[in-house]
Amino acid sequence: MGFFRRKTTVSSPVSWKITQKCLDLIFESSKSNYPMEFGALLRVDRVEKNMIIEVVLLPGTVSGDSHAIFHLHMLPIDYSIVGTVHSHPSSIARPSDADLDLFNHFGKIHLIIGVTQYGDISWQAYDYAGREAVVEVV
Ligand SMILES: [Zn+2]
């Protein structure tokens, strides 16, 4: 992959991974919460710190029909938590302005799951700045 134009000041990018099991759970939760949103935190493995293995439900996080489902003051101080996941009850897995604000304040990697009434799933990962990020499913 020698085609990336690289700025000299950029820090080496983290290559994120997520287990299929964890992703399946996220998809199922997104479907079962439809037409409400599902939201949770992403936890990485204690040894492999770029491997997302678990979703953690945040106390006070409710499924809602708006985007204000994360209560930032309730976020735990836990370095195994690297970001967030939430569903969009639409086919559009693109961040809203509120999402971008959240990404900017918390975490390094964020997933948005688009889910339709037919249970069709699309998903996309984003970094803290709302740029599309690659997460490898393992
Ligand atoms: Zn959103």
- Residues 21 and 15 sit within 8 Å (Cβ to Cβ): no
Could you tell me the distance, in angstroms and rounded to a whole number, from the CA of residue 67 to the centre of ligand 1? 5
pTM of the model: 0.84
Residue 99 placed within a domain: yes
Residues with catalytic roles: 37
Range of the domain at 133: 16-137
- For the domain that residue 42 is a member of, what is the CATH number? 3.40.140.10
Contact between 21 and 45 (Cβ < 8 Å) = no
- Determine the distance separating the centroid of ligand 1 and the alpha carbon of 128, expressed in angstroms: 14
* CA of 87 relative to ligand 1 center, distance in Å: 7
In a domain, 73, yes or no: yes
- Ligand 1 ion: nearby residues, β-carbon < 5 Å: 67, 96, 99
Tell me, in angstroms, the distance from the centre of ligand 1 to residue 2's CA: 33
pLDDT tens digit at each of 138 positions of the chain: 455 555 544 555 679 999 999 999 999 999 999 998 888 999 999 999 999 999 998 766 555 555 556 766 667 778 899 999 999 998 889 999 989 988 998 899 999 999 999 999 999 999 999 999 999 999
The verdict on residue 126 lying in a domain is yes
4 domain residue, yes or no: no
How far is residue 62's CA from residue 69's CA, in Å, rounded to a whole number?
Answer: 6
Please indicate, yes or no, if residue 2 is contained in any of the structural domains. Answer: no
Number of domain units in the chain: 1
